[in-house]
Structure 1
Amino acid sequence: MQLKNEVQLKQYRVPTYVNQLIKSLKQPHHSDSRRTLLESPLSWENYTEKFQLLLYLEESQMNLDIKRYNIPNEDSKFAVLKRDKNKKLLVLEVPGKDLSIIEGIKFNVEFTINRLTIRLQHRAAEFATLCGLRSVLFPDETPSHLKPELPHLKLFDQQLERNPEQYQAVQQIVAGSSRPAPYLVFGPPGTGKTVTVVEAIKQIEKTQASCHILACAPSNSAADLLCSKIRDHVDECMVYRMYASSRDPKLVPAHLKGCSNLVGESYVYPAKEKLMEYKIIVTTLLSAGRLVSGNIPSGHFTHVFVDEAGHAVETECVVPLAGLLDAESGQLVLVGDPKQLGPILRSPFSLKYGMGVSLLERLMTTSSLYQKNEGVYNNCFVTKLLRNYRSHPAILKIPNELFYDGELQACADEYARNFYRWWQYLPKQDLPLIFHGVAGEDTRESNSPSFFNVAEVEVLMDYVRKLLQSGRKKGLATIGPKDIGIIAPYRKQVQKIRKALEQVGKEFTFTDMNALKVGSVEEFQGQERRVIMVSTVRSSSKYMDYDKKFSLGFVKNEKRFNVAVTRAKALLIVVGNPIVLNTDDTWKRFIQYCKDEGGCTGLVQPEKDDYEVVLRLSALYISIEGHGKTYEKVVETHESVVQQQLDPEWRNDL
C-alpha cells in the first residue's frame, strides 16, 4: 500500500483583486482594508489572512519573473510541455483533437511556476489557526511552569562536552524545558549549529522510548546533511529520508538510498502505518506537507526540529507543524541565526510587509522569552552558541562586535586559520585581512539592468593569480580553486568574474577551475572557504537608496555584510570603493579596523576636508578623476529588482 492523500490541498488561486491591490500599493496615499491589514503587526487574530495575502503578492511577482525565460517565436503555434508519469520525459500537449505534424513548425515556449510550494504554504497558514498553534507561534511571555531537572547525558559526539553552550542546548531540548513554546538554538557563523541539533535528536531517540521525531530543513542538501549525521549512531531501520517525487534521483547521496523512499529510479510513499513505525523522519520543510496530506495524526510526532530555520519563510516553517504537531504536548526546536540573511523574496511588497522575517527572527525580536534580561538569555528557551570553529580572530572581530555583542570566541584550529599569516602579499604580516580600495565605476549594459565593476574584476583576478602561484611554491601552503570563493552582490558582476576566471584557468592549466565558486551572498550562506574574496561593486552613492529599498548589495545591509565576511577561514580580501562604503556605518567600522591594523591597500580614504566634496561628486555620478559618466539605457521590465540583480533560485525545493 502507498500513502494516500486523505487531507485536501486546495488550489488557493490568486484572487482577481490582487492586481488592483498591487497598483494601489504603489500609490503612497491610497488606503483600503487590505493595505491596512498588510501594515498591521502580525498577530494570532490576523495570522492566516495576512500570510495568505502576502503569499498572493509573492506569487503574482513570481508569475512575472518566470516570463523572463519564455522563448517567443513569431507566427508560431502554442503548445504545452508536461512531464510524463515517470518524470523522465517532457511530452508535448497540442490543443485540439486533430494532430498534424509539419516539419520545421515553430512554437512559443512559455514557463510557469510550480504552484505546489505556494499551495502548501497557504494550507499551513490556514491550518495554523484551525489546529490551535497559538502557544507555539505566539508563546505565552509569562510562563508559569517550573524548570525541569536537566538530565546528565553521555554524548555521542564527545567534543560537545567541552563546549558548555552546546551541551546546555542539548540538555534543555531533551528536558523539554520550553514546552509548549519553541526552543531556539541561536547559532552565529561557524559555531556548530547542525552538530548540536543532531546530538539532541540522537539523545531524544536514545532516552525517550515513545518519541517520534520529524527533522526538517529548507533545502534538500541541508536535509541530506542532517540525515547523514543522524545515521552515525542510530539504527538505520529507525531513520527514514523522505524525498519529493520531483527530486532528481541522481542527486540522492548513495549512502542515503537504502533508508529513503527512492526505489530504483522512482519514489514510493509507504502507507501511513508504515511511516509511523519510524522513529525519525527527515525531509524538507515543504515535503513535510506530504505527511499532512497523508493524515499522519496530530501529536504522532513528539518533536519537530527545523535546522537553518532563519533561511525559511515563516509559512514554510509552519508546513511541518500545522496538522502534525500537538501544540501543548509537542516540542518545536528552531536552529539558526537571525543575524544572517533570511529567505529570498521576489515581491517588494511581500518583503516590505514582513514576509522576509523568518519565524526564528520574529520570535527573537518580538517575544521577551527569547531576549536578553540583564545581559543574559533565559536558557530554558534559548541557547546562544559562542565558540566559532571557522575563522581567524582578525576576520571574526568586526562581525563579532557588531552583531554578537563581542561574545564569540575564536576556537578554530590554529594550523588551519593561520595558513596566510605570513603571505607575502599581505599589507601587514600576521594580519590575514585585506581591504583593497578601488576607484571603479558602476556599469550596466544596454540589455541588462544588473550592475558590474570592471576595475574590481581586474583586482580580484590579480589576487587569484597570486594565490594560485603561491600554492605552487615550495614551503608555502598549497591551494587549489576549490579553496577559494568569490562573493559579489549582483548577477552581472558574478558573470564577469566567471568569464575572467576562464582566462586565469588557461594560464594555470587547472582542470578543476570550475571548483572556484563565484556567487551571491545567498549562495554562500552556510558555506565556508579557506580564502574568501568580496567584490562590493558600488562606486557611486547614487544607487544606495535603491539597494536599501530592495535589500540588495552590501551597502546599508548588515545581514549581507555579516554573511559575506564570516565565510572565510584563513584569508579575507574585500575589494571596494572606500568613499562609498564609508557612508555605511557597518562598512566604515570594518574599513577603519583594517586601516588601524595596517590591512588597507589601493585607493585610500580622502582626508576629512575633501571627503564631503568627493562624496557629492560620487552622488552626481561624476568620476573623482574628473571624467564624466554617461548614463546607460536600461531595459524596461516587469521583473522584480531581486531577479534583475541576483537571479535567485526558485523556491521549489520539495
Structure 2
Amino acid sequence: LNKKRIAYFHFTKEDTEARLAPGDELRLRLNSSAYADLSGSDEAGWSAVGHVSKITANEEVALELRGGQQLGPWDINHGFQVEFVWKSTSFDRMQAAMRTFAVDDTSVSGYLYHKLLGHDVEPQTIRSTVPKHFTAPNLPQLNHSQVYAVRKALSNPLCLIQGPPGTGKTVTSATIVYHLTRQNQGQVLVCAPSNIAVDQLAEKLHKTGLKVVRLSAKSREAVASSVDFLTLHHQVRHLDTPDHQELQKLMALKDELGELSHVDEKKFKQLQNSTERELLTAADVICTTCVGAGDPRLQNFRFKQVLVDESTQAAEPECLIPIMMGAKQMVLVGDHCQLGPVIMCKKAAKAGLHQSLFERLIFLGVRPVRLEVQYRMHPCLSEFPSQSFYDGSLQNGVTLNERLYAGIEFPWPRPDMPMFFLNSTGAEEISASGTSYLNRTEATNIEKLVTYFLKSGVKPYQVGIITPYEGQRAYICAVLQRQTTFSHKAYEEIEVASVDSFQGREKDFILLSCVRSNQNQGIGFLNDPRRLNVALTRAKYGLIICGNAKAKILKAL
C-alpha cells in the first residue's frame, strides 16, 4: 500500500528485555550471502531503517520501513537481523537547552536564572489577578492545600509543588494552568517527561474549555492515545474550512497514491507547516513531553509560563528544555519521595544526572508547597507512608467506610485493616535472562491469592500485581497463564507490572511480590525507600505483601 513497506516479525523470547514501543526505530538487515544469491549482485547485504508502527496482541511487531524501497528481499522470510537505531534527538535537545541557558540572556528571566544556579536573589512576587473561585470549570472541587498551592503558583515566579501519592497532582496542575491562561501572558507550555502523563493532563485541560494542542513526536503520530482529537496532526487533518481545502485535497491524494509529485510535495509541506503554525498560535495551551518542547515546530515560540508535571521523573537537562523558551514563571509539580528519573548509564547517574531539577532546588532551600489530602488509600494503608516519608502530614480525604469493600469475603487478619504480610520462605533464583531474579514460591502464593480474590467476586481489572524484578514479573505472568480455575481471559486481564512502571497508577487491590530471599538477608531493589514508597501506595482498598520476613524487609518497613 502507498509504496510503504511494512515488515512483520516476532521477537524471539530472550529479547524481551528490550521493551519495544511504537515509535522506536529499528534497522532490518539481511546478510550478504542470502541476498547476493537473490539479486545476482555482489552487494554486501541489504538493510533498511523504519519505525515500529504497532505491536499486535501476540507480540508481532510491525515495522514501517522508510523511503521508497524498490529493490529488496521481499520474498525472503528468514535470516534477517534486527537492531536498535540509537536516536540522539533527546540528548541533542538537552544539550541545546543547556547551551542556551549558558549563553542566551533572553532564554529565561534573570530571577529564574539566578534561582536555578542557586544564587541568593531578592524574593519576587508576580502581580496576578487572583481568581474568586479557584476550582476550574468541569474539574473536581479543590481542598484547602490545593487552593493554597494554586495561589502560591500564581503569585510566584518559581513554585515547587510536592504531591504525595493520591493527592490530586494532575487536577491541581490543570487548575493552575487554567488560571495561568487567564493572566494574559500569552500561551502556557505544559510538559511532563512521559507521554502518558502529558495525555492525562491534556485531557483534564480540555475539560476546562481551553483550546489545547497536544504536540507529539513525528514518530509517534501513528500511536493511538486517549487524546488523539487534541493532537496537532489530527487537528491539521480535520480542519474543514474553505481556506484549507487545498491542504485537504493534497492529503487525500497523498493517502491514495502514497507519494506526491515533487511540486505537489513542496506545496503540501508548505501548507502543512503554515497550518500547523496557525493551530499552534491559536491554542491557549500547548502540551508536549519535556523533550518534545525542543521540537523544531516550536522553534520561534516563546512561553513566559511553563508547568512541568511529574518533574521529579525527568533528568534535570530534560526539564530545562521547556524552561529555556523564555520562561518568567515556572511551576514544577512532582514528588521527590517517589522514584526519580531512569538513568541507564551508571557513571552519569553517579555524577549527578539522577537528581531531578525539583530535588536540586529543594536542596538549595526552595520550599515546596505540599498537597496534604490523599484520596486513594484506605486510611490504614496511608498511615505507614505518611509517617515514614511525609513527616506524618498526609491527611485522609477518604473515610474508612468509603474504602470498605462490601460483598467480598476475604479473610483479612483484622477485618478493619485490609492489609497483611504473607511470609514465604522459598529461595530466590536468577531468572532466565541472567540479569534479574524470580521466586517460584512467591509466584505460586500470588496466584493462589489472585484465585481467591476472583472467587470472592473481585473483577480481574481491580487487581494489580507488582514486583521490583522483571524476572519475577515474567514468571508470574507465566504462572497465571497456566491456571485453569477461571477462564484464561480473567487471568490475562490482571495487570502484572514492575513497581517502577506503576508509578502514578492505582488499583483497588495490590499484591506486592518482594522476591528476594537469601542467606545474607539482602532485599535488593526495595532498599531504595522511594521504590518502597511507590510500591506501598498503589492500592485503594487492600494490600498484600508477599516476602520472606527473615529478609530485611521488615526492617525496611
When the two structures are superposed, what TM-score results if normalisation uses the length of structure 2?
0.77
Amino acid in the other structure paired with 2:429: T
Q: Does 1:82 align with 2:54?
A: no
- Higher mean displacement: 108-117 or 351-360: 108-117
1:518 alignment counterpart? 496
Offset at residue 101 of structure 1 (A):
8.5
What residue number does 2:310 align with?
Answer: 308
C-alpha change, 1:98 and 1:517, in structure 2 (3 Å) is closer
Q: What is the number of residues matched between the two proteins?
A: 479
Contact kept in structure 1, 2:521 and 2:551, CA below 8 Å:
no
Shift, 1:469, TM fit: 0.5
Equivalent residues in 2 for 1:194-209 (5 A)?
A: 194-206=170-182, 208-209=183-184
User: Aligned equivalents of 1:225 and 1:90: distance in 2?
Assistant: 28
Aligned with 2:48: secondary structure? strand
Match of 2:209, SS state, is: coil
Structure 2: distance between partners of 1:509 and 1:157: 44
1:170 pairs, out of 141, 150, 164, with 150
Query: Which has the larger displacement, 209-218 or 449-458?
Result: 209-218
The DSSP-based 3-state class of the residue aligned with 1:251 is coil
3-state SS of paired residue (2:546): strand
Shift of the 416–508 alpha-carbon distance from structure 1 to 2, 3 Å rule, reads: farther
Q: Distance in 2 between matches of 1:383 and 1:369?
A: 10
Distance 1:213 1:427, change over 3 A: same
CA distance in 2, matches of 1:460, 1:453: 11
**1:537 matched residue in structure 2:** 515
* Distance in 2 separating the partners of 1:211 and 1:414: 45
Q: Which moved more, 1:99-108 or 1:421-430?
A: 99-108
The structure where strand makes up a greater share of residues is: 2
Q: Distance in 1 between matches of 2:550 and 2:541?
A: 27
Structure 1 residue 350: deviation in Å?
Answer: 1.5
- Residue 219, structure 1, aligned to residue 194, structure 2: yes
Please list, as runs of the form range in 1=range in 2, the aligned pairs for 1:236-635 lying within 5 A after superposition: 238-253=211-226, 256-257=228-229, 260-262=232-234, 263-264=236-237, 269=273, 270=275, 272=277, 275-291=280-296, 294-297=298-301, 300-322=302-324, 324-326=325-327, 330-364=328-362, 366-370=363-367, 382-412=368-398, 414-419=400-405, 423-445=409-431, 448-471=434-457, 479-504=458-483, 506-509=484-487, 511-540=489-518, 542=520, 544=522, 547=524, 553-554=525-526, 556-582=527-553, 587-588=554-555, 590=557
Give per-residue Cα distances to partners, 1:410-460, cap 9 Å, x unaligned: 212544422179844212221111111111111125652321000101111
1:189 to 161, 165, 173: 165
**Cα separation, partners in 2 of 1:125 and 1:537, compared to 1, 3 Å:** same
SS in 1 for 2:83: coil
- Residues of 2 paired with 1:160 and 1:92: CA distance? 46
Distance 1:520 1:100, change over 3 A: closer
Matches within 5 A, 1:90-129: 90-91=64-65, 106-129=79-102
Report deviation, 1:271.
Answer: 5.2
| Residues in 2 aligned to 1:333 and 1:423: alpha-carbon distance in whole angstroms | 45
Q: Deviations over 1:574-618 (max 9, x none)?
A: 011111125xxxx4263xxxxxxxxxxxxxxxxxxxxxxxxxxxx
- In the superposition, relative to structure 1, how do residues 85 and 538 fare at CA in structure 2: closer, same or farther (>3 Å)? closer
Alignment-derived partner of residue 6 in structure 2: none
Structure 1 residues 413, 229: CA separation in 2 closer, same or farther (over 3 Å shift)? farther
Q: Percent identity of the aligned residues?
A: 28
What letter is aligned with 1:225?
A: Q
| Deviation digits for residues 288-315 of structure 1 (CA, Å, limit 9, x no counterpart) | 1115x64324xx3121111111111111
Question: What TM-score does the superposition give when structure 1 sets the normalisation length?
Answer: 0.66
Residue ranges of structure 1 left out of the alignment (5+ in a row)? 1-65, 371-381, 472-478, 548-552, 591-654
Cα distance in 2 between the residues matched to 1:85 and 1:460: 34
Q: Distance in 2 between matches of 1:140 and 1:108?
A: 53
Indicate how the Cα distance of structure 1 residues 198 and 93 shifts in structure 2: closer, same or farther if over 3 A, else same.
closer
- Assess, with a 3 A threshold, how the Cα gap between structure 1 residues 189 and 99 changes in structure 2: closer, same or farther: closer
**Cα distance in structure 2, aligned partners of 1:348 and 1:431:** 41
Indicate conservation of the 8 Å contact 1:79/1:108, yes or no: no
Letter in 1 for 2:219: S
1:250 to 1:274, Cα distance in 2 relative to 1, 3 A: closer
Aligned partner of 2:59 in structure 1 is none
Secondary structure, aligned partner of 1:368: coil
CA distance in structure 1 between the aligned counterparts of 2:53 and 2:463, rounded to whole angstroms? 40
Distance 2:335 2:205 in 1: 22
Distance 1:446 1:162 in 2: 49
Is 1:286–1:319's contact at 8 Å kept on the other side of the alignment?
yes
Distance 1:521 1:561 in 2: 9
Any stretches of 5+ residues in structure 2 without a counterpart?
1-23, 36-44, 55-61, 238-250, 256-268
RMSD over equivalenced CA pairs, Å: 3.5
The amino acid that maps onto 2:318 is: E
1:602-645 per-position Cα deviation (integer Å, ceiling 9, x unaligned): xxxxxxxxxxxxxxxxxxxxxxxxxxxxxxxxxxxxxxxxxxxx
Structure 1 residue 151 displacement after superposition: 2.3
Cα deviations by residue, 1:210-243 (Å, 9 ceiling, x for unpaired): 43100111122211111111111224xx321111
Counterpart contact for 2:463–2:495, Cα < 8 Å:
yes
- What is the Cα deviation at residue 355 of structure 1? 1.0
Q: 1:431 to 1:73 in 2, by over 3 A?
A: farther
Q: 1:100 to 1:520 in 2, by over 3 A?
A: closer
